Amino acid sequence: MLNQRVMRHWQLPTSASPSQLRSLGEYHPLLAAILWNRGWRDAAAVEQFLNIDWKQRHDPFLLRDMDRAVERIKHAVEQKQRVVVYGDFDTDGVTGVTLLMQLFKAFDLPVRPYIPKREGEGYGLNLAAIEKLHQEGLDLLVTVDCGISNIAEISRANELGFDTIVLDHHQPPANLPPAYAVVDPKRSDCAYPFKGLCGVGVAFKLYEALWRAGIQPNNLRARDILDVVALGTIADMMPLTGENRVLVHFGLQAMNESQRPGLKALLRVAAVEQGKIDASSVGFRLSPRINAAGRLVDARIAYSLLLAPDQAQADGFADQLNSTNIERQALTRDVQQAARELAQNSGQLDQRILVIVGEDFHHGVVGLAAGKLAEEFARPVLVMGKEEDRSRGSARSIPGFNIVNALAECADLFEKYGGHAAAAGFTIANEHIPELEQRLQAIANQQITDAMMVPQLPIDAEATFDQLNLEMLAVLEKMAPFGLENQQPRFCSRRVTVIEARGVGAENQHLRLRLQQGRHYQTAIGFNLGDWLAELHNGSQIDIVYTVGINEWNGRSSVQLTLVDLRLSEGQR
């Protein structure tokens, strides 16, 4: 349980006039109000957003170098060349490798996967792997979810005589690697209209480009690989807007109908029912188990699960991943608590950015701990696991502060680094850590304002309990799939009465409430809000922010509120 309560600023919605809401189209007033408050003003754009169509995808050849990638793969297919697919060890990388392996096997090419181990190899291409693959015999190397920063490694591949195609989505460096083709929507010279694809998304666009060019794999349809596209896109926390919204929408359909043994096994251990898979269950139940392999042991277990040929093998891999995920959860809690104590005891909480170094922090979970602490303390956090000569760490940021740009200003201190505006990873010699902290503090003092360190909680609409019913949920479902940049709608209800409050969970870390407003009652669950239990009693009046979902029990469906935040109503504080 957190040691301090984060006070968030509730951003209440403004009221739109009936004529403004009607200008969006003939929609339920609550749905129209949510869309209006989220900035939607164009009726045609709203129509396209709510009515997802497979035709809303973009031409894959708008991606820079996609024509070269297709040309090179066509040559490999014609010559039956030896191919290696090299991917990252997170869910995006693993699903990208899975998709490309299915693609190249459908072309009947001699192909093998290569997923580096976090321990010993780290993120991205490495020279030892390049040398090893050359010795094994290799004509074409295709990277997915990595490669954009590996100039030295790809230069060595060129010297050894094999070509490289980079499929990536990370921010490119000033100088691109000398690969045969570099396909990355974030290239400054790339005109692709949607920049939010993840690695497996870029791999899927390669599949589409090959089809359009008449280079069609045998018996491999889009629906056969869209399940892993959805899994990787959601797990990598890509925006569920634009083309990702299309890919995930149809990918979730594919997951709910998939006969992939590995997916069925994963659903079993995660207690998710096929047919009811949504973005939330993928993000919170499925992807953590896939990610756990690369964090603690070997991501190839997750890859083997997704391409398991039969149910018996798939079940064995799924059980391994489930056990690893339980271990990952415990390690994350331990590192988070230890890092919190280091920050508190060192007086760092007065700083605008936290740089925390632990002697025995497992590098596989430092990013998760950093994310939890960034949310808890409302400021960017770097957490590092210190080794003999160097430290490996992860950074997580807050809205408005681009963490990878901040690291770029300290690039001379790192052995390697990379990432996004909100998250990054790096390796640094221990002797450089004090200077890194000093420089980052100076950057943070210039760029992070007091207001940025007050977490904002946008609220989509105010609601009363009489409005909360299954019919309303059906209306809201038109906005799904929910995720980054298209969050599940948040509602606010004021002056609701606590009828019953109790703690749930092994340490009562969660809060379950029975609430009343007028003649209407609702149940609510608040994850990690158990510290409120001491302040609530029967009859307490509270204001709540929540999302609305369905609770199914004994064949009956009812509305359940999931609390995001709460506070005592005015007059009771």
Average pLDDT value for residue range 133-140: 95
Average pLDDT value for residue range 544-555: 88
Cα angle 284, 286, 288 (rounded to 5 degrees) comes to: 65
d(CA 286, CA 350): 37
Q: How far apart are the first and last CA of the chain?
A: 23
Q: How many helices (H) and strands (E) does the chain have?
A: 19, 18
Band the pLDDT of 418: cuts 50, 70, 90: confident
Q: Which amino acid is at 385?
A: G
Average pLDDT value for residue range 361-386: 93
pLDDT in tens, 138-172: 999 999 999 998 999 999 999 999 999 999 999 89
Q: How far out from the chain centre does Cα 440 lie?
A: 25
d(CA 255, CA 319): 20
Average pLDDT value for residue range 449-456: 91
d(CA 205, CA 246): 13
Q: What is the pLDDT of residue 210?
A: 98
Backbone angles phi, psi at 111, to 5 degrees: -140, 145
Backbone angles phi, psi at 116, to 5 degrees: -70, 155
Q: What is the pLDDT of residue 389?
A: 93
Backbone angles phi, psi at 184, to 5 degrees: -155, 115
Average pLDDT value for residue range 330-356: 93
Structure tokens at 33: 């109000």
SS (H, E, C) 366-388: HHHHHHHHHHHHCCCEEEEEECC
Q: What is the pLDDT of residue 552?
A: 80
d(CA 259, CA 250): 15
> pLDDT at residue 564 above 90?
yes
d(CA 29, CA 4): 39
- Is the separation of the CB atoms in 86 and 114 below 8 Å? yes
Range with the lowest mean pLDDT among 73-77, 552-556, 566-570? Answer: 552-556
Average pLDDT value for residue range 250-260: 97
d(CA 157, CA 133): 10
pLDDT in tens, 430-450: 999 999 999 999 999 999 999
Q: What is the overall mean pLDDT for the chain?
A: 93
Q: Considering just the CA atoms, what is the radius of gyration of the chain in Å?
A: 25
Q: Which amino acid is at 118?
A: R
Q: Which amino acid is at 62?
A: L
Task: State the residue for tokens 């899975």.
Answer: 98
> pLDDT at residue 27 above 70?
yes
Q: What is the pLDDT of residue 573?
A: 62
Q: What is the pLDDT of residue 2?
A: 39
Collapsing DSSP to helix, strand or coil, 548 comes out as strand
Is the pLDDT higher at 256 or at 537? 256
- Is the separation of the CB atoms in 115 and 87 below 8 Å? yes
Structure tokens at 422: 């909100």
Q: How many CB atoms lie within 10 A of CB 67?
A: 15
- Is the separation of the CB atoms in 170 and 148 below 8 Å? yes
> pLDDT at residue 135 above 70?
yes
Q: How far out from the chain centre does Cα 428 lie?
A: 25
Q: With a threshold of 0.85, does the pTM exceed it?
A: yes
Cα dihedral 156→161→162→163 (10° resolution)? 80
d(CA 63, CA 132): 31
> pLDDT at residue 3 above 60?
no
* Sequential DSSP letters for 243-294: HHHHHHHHHHHHHHH---HHHHHHHHHHT--TT---HHHIIIIIHHHHHHHH
Average pLDDT value for residue range 14-21: 90
d(CA 57, CA 246): 7
Beta bridge partners of 568: 542
d(CA 5, CA 377): 9
* Sequential DSSP letters for 501-548: EEEESTTS-EEEEEEEETTEEEEEEETT-GGGGGG--TT-EEEEEEEE
Range with the lowest mean pLDDT among 104-113, 218-227, 367-376, 416-425? Answer: 416-425
Q: What is the pLDDT of residue 5?
A: 63
Buried-exposed string 307-339: b where 16+ CB fall within 10 A, e elsewhere: bbeeeebbbebbebbbebbebbeebbeebbebb
> pLDDT at residue 555 above 80?
no
Average pLDDT value for residue range 229-235: 97
* Domains and their CATH numbers in the chain: 9-49+459-568 (2.40.50.460), 57-219 (3.90.1640.30), 346-453 (3.10.310.30)
Q: What is the pLDDT of residue 4?
A: 54
Is the pLDDT higher at 248 or at 297? 248
d(CA 447, CA 402): 10
pLDDT in tens, 105-132: 999 999 999 999 887 777 789 999 999 9
Q: Which of 335, 259, 250, 252 is nearest to 286 (CA)?
A: 252
